[in-house]
Amino acid sequence: MVMSKYFIPLVEQPLVTPRRLAQRMRTAYQAFGIEAFPGFSFGSNPPIAPKPARNTAGAEKVLSGPTNASITFGTDRGHGGGLTDGLGGQGIPAASIDLCAGHMGPYAREVDDNGNPVRYNPNFQVDSARLYIAEKCNIDENMQLPDGKLGERRMSSAVGLVADDVNIQAKGEGGLKLAAYSTNRNSLGQKNLKLPGIDLLAGDGENQQYLVKGQNLLELLGGMSEEIDELRGSMEQFVRLQGGFNDKIMVHNHNSPFYAQATAPSFNLLFEGYKAAFQRVADVEKGMIFTIINKESGQNNYFNPIAAKYILSGLVTTG
């Protein structure tokens, strides 16, 4: 297979990676293969997979089961995840609850290549999925998020949710409220002086723009539609007045010097006049009629609340 820098073939991951297992399990697997672990993996039994140990801090209590998932009660360890990182590493009171599934992500291992035990630090970018709750932290720095319109949030209570895919479902009739609504004071006891905002980031957040309010947009488009109607009416009136004038010019004549007898019309002008009159009816006036039809059809399709293509959502609002 020819490989380039633009193409990396997908390789099926092995069920077991022996070099990432603890020495006892690695030796058994290399000697007897999968048969050395009867009852493992299948039927929701503990998998034959590495379960790395946490580099536990003195203020932490870790709850875990037989898989690579845990809940840790401790203090904020920041973006780096080390014992001296984050607000907790600086001695600042910053209680946290860290729920993680898949420590070290695809790099999970219990020992290094030399057989020495490996201990992990929490890492928002590497760990597979995490729900993080902190009394106080620098949540944007921890999660390495761009500033966006809201800017970087620091030294505040926060909840962070990180995974490859994130779903939030409201399965009852009560629906879902995604609210940025400030209380009188924040978790530090400071008075909230302005309304919070919402940043929907897709990418680096460098080209953030404000959302459109649907009802206001509907009013604007309705007003523009009325102005177009007025402009079309003025244009129609002009075409008719100009058409009448053109008709007079087309058949006009002059008085000759011979006893003021009327001359014959200009045959060149007469030909062009009939041609212009025909085009006025066939193109201009017909086009204005179709403009009326298309405008009414568009309003019925997009401005009518019961139409399938109504431009406002019937279930989602913002403010």
121 part of a folded domain:
yes
Average pLDDT over every residue of 165-185: 88
What average pLDDT is seen over the chain?
A: 82
SS3 letters across the chain? CCCECCECCCCCCCCCCHHHCCHHHHHHHHHHHHHHCCCCCHHHCCCCCCCCEECCCCCCEEEECCCCEEEEEEECCCCCCCCCCHHHHCCCCCEEEEEEECCCHHHCCCECCCCCECEECCCCCCCCEEEEEEEEECHHHHHCCCCCCCCCCCCEEEEEEECCCCCCCCCCCCCCCCCCCCCCECCCCCECCCCCCCCCCCCCCCCCCCCCCHHHHHHHHHHHHHHHHHHHHHHHHHHHHHHHHHHHHHHCCCECCCCCCECCCCHHHHHHHHHHHHHHHHHHHHHHHHHHHHHHHHHHHHCCCCCCCCCCCCCCCCC
Q: Kindly tell me if the per-residue pLDDT of 8 is higher than 60.
A: no
pLDDT band of 200, cuts 50, 70, 90: confident
With a cut of 70, say whether residue 296 has pLDDT above it: yes
Q: What percent of the chain stands above pLDDT 70? A: 85
**Confidence label for 84 from pLDDT (cuts 50, 70 and 90):** very high
Highest mean pLDDT among 147-151, 204-208, 273-277: 147-151
**What total number of domains does the chain contain?**
2
Q: Given this model, what pLDDT does residue 130 score?
A: 96
Q: What share of the chain in percent tops pLDDT 90?
A: 31
Q: Tell me if 39 is assigned to some domain.
A: no
Domain span at residue 282 reads 214-302
Higher pLDDT, 59 or 230: 59
Residue 318 domain-assigned? no
In a domain, 92, yes or no: yes
User: Does 204 reside within a domain?
Assistant: no
Q: What average pLDDT does the segment 217-221 reach? A: 86
Give domain status of residue 97, yes or no: yes
Asked whether residue 197 is assigned to any structural domain, the reply reads: no
Asked if 153 and 233 sit in the same domain, the reply is no
Please report whether residue 125 resides in a domain.
yes
Do 157 and 247 lie in one domain? The reply is: no
Which of 162, 190, 224 is a domain's end point? 162
> 221 and 158, same structural domain?
no
Confidence of residue 36 (pLDDT cuts 50, 70, 90): low
